[in-house]
Amino acid sequence: MEILVCAKRVPDTSENEIELNAAGNDIERGDLVYSVNEADNYAVEEALEIVERTGGTVTVVTVGDDDDEEILRREMAMGAKQAVLLSDEAFEGSDGRGIASILAAFVRKGHYELILTGVQADDGAAQVGGMLAAMLDCPFASLVTSIEVLEGGKLKIGREIEGGNKELYEIDLPCVLSIQTGINEPRYVGMRGIRQVASVPIPTLHKADLGVNGFAGKAAARVTRTDYFTPTAGHGAEMLTGNHDEIIGKLIELLKSKGGLT
Amino acid sequence: MARIFAYIVHKSGVADDSAAELAAAARQIDAAQSPAAVVTGWGADLDAVCESLRSTFSEVWKIAHEALAYPNAEIVRQALVNVLPAGSLVLVPHAHFGTDLSPGLSVKMKAAYVPDVVGIDGVDGAALKLVRQEFGGQLSAHIRCDISSGAVISIRPGAFKALAGGAAAGQVVDKSSSAGTLVSKRRYLETVAAETGDVDITKYPVLVSVGRGIQEPDNIPIAQELADALGGAVSCSRPVVDAKWMAKSRQVGSSGQTVKPKVYLACGISGSFQHLAGIKGNPFIVAINKNPKAPIFRAADIGIVADILEFLPELTQSIRER
């Protein structure tokens, strides 16, 4: 099966304290650690496992600039055969619909039977996969936690719903699936693996190569972010301060009064 | 102002809690307009839901079709595209069903899409001003959405206070004849119930809940020892289950268990809204996290900035020595 995985380079929120920049229009990006969006690793792993069972190849694609090549190489080190960077000044400022339209233009040039995305990225939007499917007139499922390849151009998939329950569907190929974290155990990528793909050329496709429709870019964006701000607290926690002994003393008294300790 | 519709998620003839929250969000977009509910389904369950919504919505658009008996988002989307007027504002709850429906619905309605909205700041010309959160809830963002061609807005569950219902004065309008031919390339088979685990975390008054901050499975006994000292159980957040360090049955959150303990110790948990959605009954929440910016500190009663791998053993020892 020919499988395409859409990936994104994001600031690693588990490793970083995200701070507002002085102007308030972006985050302070200077010292951030970037990595591939965690959910996208699960999507690549799932694609690799399907190809190991049924044959075919895995291609990874991202929309971005030269900095984004590093995540494509990481996913190639996992085992993806090819990677493609979609990059153009005209793509800057695209909203989710714009990004989906760029990916749709790329997909139309190939012959992918299955397209995977991570469940969501740093903006928590979870939107590009579903939009891409609708643009391609393909069926879509989100929050996918299992994939079984059936005969006759179909998959049996599970998707996560409330309470840890799971819905099972049969879905026709080609289709787009957004992959939930935890579906598999993404393989480890060591420095050696990264070095092996360090000089593999990664083709860059521009707007003119793709024939992107009018949704891409800042002017076409219907959804724009005006600024960031620090969220207002709910009621906000009372912070216990001092050395650990002092904190623990206060905490034990609180736990007693709240029924956590008898 | 375009007409506002609230898509109603329901099960076994009962509307989801999100219905009255969408009604409240709609009022914040346009106080002058009485929003309409749109409900898809089949049979007596659908009729019961429509009837129950008459106290919250002035109009309830009912779309009945056998193919809509189970809420398969791919089929629901087709029905909504066929029935809803072009240019509408459609509100959908941002949960498991909404993420399946909303992005594709916006494309097919040629409308804008803003996911996971937590606040509404009003309308400015053709722009609807909204608030979202990014970076795992560490920062909020002001969003402008051009609604001149309509929009699909997904609303975070719990972000808006439910609108109180009035008299059952709303009118049920049957739109089923406009639903069109409903066929899908994605066919529902069955629902598999969650596995039950060795420990039922919903039964304990105290939960020591661990997140990514536990760092490796060998550290879980640190949490277990504290739980034992407190007479509680160890639960966890999603990354711990994803890493296969604990069973799915231990996961607290919208995709896991819903718990109602007296005391909840969130240890190394950032506090995503999906995790917080699984904590009910207003327990006393203590958050311990290295990152002072972690969103969990906005939901907790007591916050402690510390490395749980150092702090938890010290706490356990102090409790044992009392």
Chain B residues whose CB is inside 8 A of the A19 CB are 293
Question: b/e per residue, B190-225, with b = 16+ CB within 10 A?
Answer: eeeebeeeebebbebebbbbbbbbbeeeebbebbeb
Selected residues 149-178 of chain A with any CB under 8 Å from a CB in chain B: 156, 158-172, 175, 178
**A192 CB within 8 Å of a chain B CB:** no
List the one residue out of B75, B200, B230 whose CA is nearest residue A260: B230
Residue B140: half-sphere exposure toward Cβ, Cα within 13 Å: 15
**How many C-beta neighbours within 10 Å does residue B24 have?**
19
Mean pLDDT over B97-121 rounds to 98
Give CA–CA dist B9/A126, Å, rounded.
Answer: 19
Q: How confident is the model at residue A233 (pLDDT cuts 50, 70, 90)?
A: low
Chain A residues whose CB is inside 8 A of the B141 CB are 225-229
At A201 the pLDDT is 94
Q: How confident is the model at residue A23 (pLDDT cuts 50, 70, 90)?
A: confident
**ipTM of the shown complex:** 0.95
In this complex, the residue of A95, A230, A251 whose CB is nearest that of residue B315 is: A251
Mean pLDDT over B293-302 rounds to 93
Cis check: omega of the bond before A201, within 30 degrees of 0? no
Q: Specify whether the CB–CB gap between B145 and B89 falls below 8 A.
A: no
Selected residues 59-118 of chain B with any CB under 8 Å from a CB in chain A: 72, 74, 95-97, 99-100, 102-108, 112-116
Contact A159 B305 (CB under 8 A): no
Give CA–CA dist A55/A48, Å, rounded.
Answer: 9
Residue-averaged pLDDT of chain A? 94
Mind giving me the DSSP string for chain A?
-EEEEE--EEE-TTT----B-TTSSSB--TTPPEEE-HHHHHHHHHHHHHHHHH--EEEEEEES-GGGHHHHHHHHHHT-SEEEEE--GGGTT--HHHHHHHHHHHHHHS--SEEEEES--TT----HHHHHHHHHT--EEEEEEEEEEETTTEEEEEEE-GGG-EEEEEEESSEEEEEPTTSS-PPP--HHHHHHTTTS---EE-HHHHT--TT-STTT-SEEEEEEEPPPPSS-PEEP-S-HHHHHHHHHHHHHHTTS--
Summarize pLDDT for B63-72 with one digit per residue, the tens. Answer: 999 999 999 9
pTM: 0.95
Give CA–CA dist B251/B237, Å, rounded.
Answer: 5
Summarize pLDDT for B6-38 with one digit per residue, the tens. Answer: 999 999 999 999 999 999 999 999 999 989 999
Q: Which residues contact A244 (CB under 8 A, 6 or more apart)?
A: B306, B310, B311, B314
Q: Which residues contact B139 (CB under 8 A, 6 or more apart)?
A: A18, A20, A27, A228, A229, A230, A231, B133
Q: Which of A193-197, B162-166, B221-225, B226-230 has the lowest mean pLDDT?
A: B162-166
Q: Is A111 exposed, middle or buried (0-12, 13-18, 19+ CB in 10 A)?
A: exposed
Query: Of A255, A256, A257, A262, which to mutate for an interface test with B (greatest number of B Cβ within 10 Å)?
Result: A255
Give CA–CA dist B112/B89, Å, rounded.
Answer: 9
Contact A165 B251 (CB under 8 A): no
Chain B residues whose CB is inside 8 A of the A95 CB are 112
Taking CA A174 as the corner, what is the angle to CA A49 and CA B86, rounded to the nearest 5 degrees? 130
Contact A18 B135 (CB under 8 A): yes
Contact A236 B302 (CB under 8 A): no
Domains of chain B, each with CATH number or no CATH: 4-178 (3.40.50.620), 201-320 (3.40.50.1220)
Give me the torsion for CA of A171, A173, A178, A182, rounded to 10°: 70
Q: Determine which helix (DSSP H) or strand (DSSP E) holds B79, and give its type and residue range.
A: helix B73-83
Query: Of B92, B102, B113, B235, which to mutate for an interface test with A (greatest number of A Cβ within 10 Å)?
Result: B113
In this complex, the residue of B134, B142, B291 whose CB is nearest that of residue A124 is: B134
At A214 the pLDDT is 87
Length of chain A as a residue count: 262
Domain ranges of chain A: 2-210
Query: Of B72, B97, B100, B269, which to mutate for an interface test with A (greatest number of A Cβ within 10 Å)?
Result: B100
At A234 the pLDDT is 59
Contact A237 B303 (CB under 8 A): yes
Chain A residues whose CB is inside 8 A of the B188 CB are 167-169
Q: Kindly state the DSSP code that residue B261 receives in the 8-state scheme.
A: -
User: How would you classify residue A23: left for phi > 0, otherwise alpha for psi between -120 and 50, otherwise beta?
Assistant: alpha
**B307 CB within 8 Å of a chain A CB:** no
Mean pLDDT over A181-189 rounds to 95
Contact B257 A163 (CB under 8 A): yes
**How many C-beta neighbours within 10 Å does residue A240 have?**
19
Q: Kindly state the DSSP code that residue B118 receives in the 8-state scheme.
A: -
Which tokens go with B72?
């398969």
Give CA–CA dist A99/B22, Å, rounded.
Answer: 28
Chain A residues whose CB is inside 8 A of the B238 CB are 181-182
Q: Please give, rounded to a whole number of angstroms, the shortest distance from the CA of A201 to a CA of chain B.
A: 32
Q: Specify whether the CB–CB gap between A33 and A91 falls below 8 A.
A: no
| pLDDT for B293 beyond 80 | yes
Contact A236 B297 (CB under 8 A): yes
Residue-averaged pLDDT of chain B? 96
List the one residue out of A124, A46, A91 whose CA is nearest residue A217: A91
List the one residue out of B20, B227, B11 whose CA is nearest residue A255: B227
Give CA–CA dist B155/A8, Å, rounded.
Answer: 24
**B153 CB within 8 Å of a chain A CB:** no
Mean pLDDT over A164-176 rounds to 97
| pLDDT for A235 beyond 70 | no
Q: Quick one: closest CA in B to A123, which residue?
A: B134
Summarize pLDDT for A44-79 with one digit per residue, the tens. Answer: 999 999 999 999 999 999 999 999 999 999 999 999
Summarize pLDDT for A117-129 with one digit per residue, the tens. Answer: 999 998 899 999 9
| pLDDT for A15 beyond 80 | no
**A11 CB within 8 Å of a chain B CB:** yes
Domain A2-210 has CATH 3.40.50.620: yes
Q: Please give, rounded to a whole number of angstroms, the shortest distance from the CA of B318 to a CA of chain A.
A: 8
Selected residues 178-217 of chain B with any CB under 8 Å from a CB in chain A: 184-195, 205-206, 212
